[in-house]
Amino acid sequence: AAAAGADRAASFVDRAGNVVVLPAELTSGFARFAARAGLGPVRRYAVAPCFARAADPAVSPCPKEHLEAAFDVLAADGEPGAAVAAEAQVVELACRAVALGGAALAPAAARLGHGRLAAA
């Protein structure tokens, strides 16, 4: 399966001929690292620029840059409801950020990783 954001990832070839892919979002790389390292329950905060391929690279070859804030929670395996509780923490933090930042955060988007929260 393709990584999240791979279809919109911005890339270029550096002077040495290496293909460099700029991050389209912050979660996939962390999730890959966490899975390989076997990380247990952990919270991670990150704010960094992300890049998307231009809609028409022939017209504008420069990628579109945006700032992304990520708050990732890895729940403990085997705990009933741990994933939903972890996502609830993320939603609570997002609500607090919007309340504090208000219009300064617009435009903003939120992605939920658990279906039960999206339905709630």
Domain ranges of the chain: 1-74, 76-120
The answer to whether 114 and 88 have CB atoms below 8 angstroms apart is no
In this predicted model, what pLDDT tens digit does every residue of 22-32 receive, in sequence order?
A: 999 998 899 89
pLDDT above 70: percentage of residues in the chain: 78
How far apart, in whole angstroms, are the C-alpha atoms of residue 97 and residue 91? 10
Q: How much is the pLDDT for 71?
A: 83
How far apart, in whole angstroms, are the C-alpha atoms of residue 7 and residue 119? 27
pLDDT greater than 90 at residue 37: yes
The first and second tokens of residue 55, run together, are: 């809609």
Question: Around Cβ 94, how many Cβ atoms within 10 Å?
Answer: 16
The first and second tokens of residue 49, run together, are: 């620029």
**What's the mean pLDDT when you consider all of the chain?**
79
> What residue spans of the chain are helical by DSSP H?
27-37, 82-101, 115-119
Q: How much is the pLDDT for 22?
A: 92
In this predicted model, what pLDDT tens digit does every residue of 50-104 receive, in sequence order?
A: 999 888 877 878 888 988 888 888 877 777 777 777 778 878 887 887 777 766 6
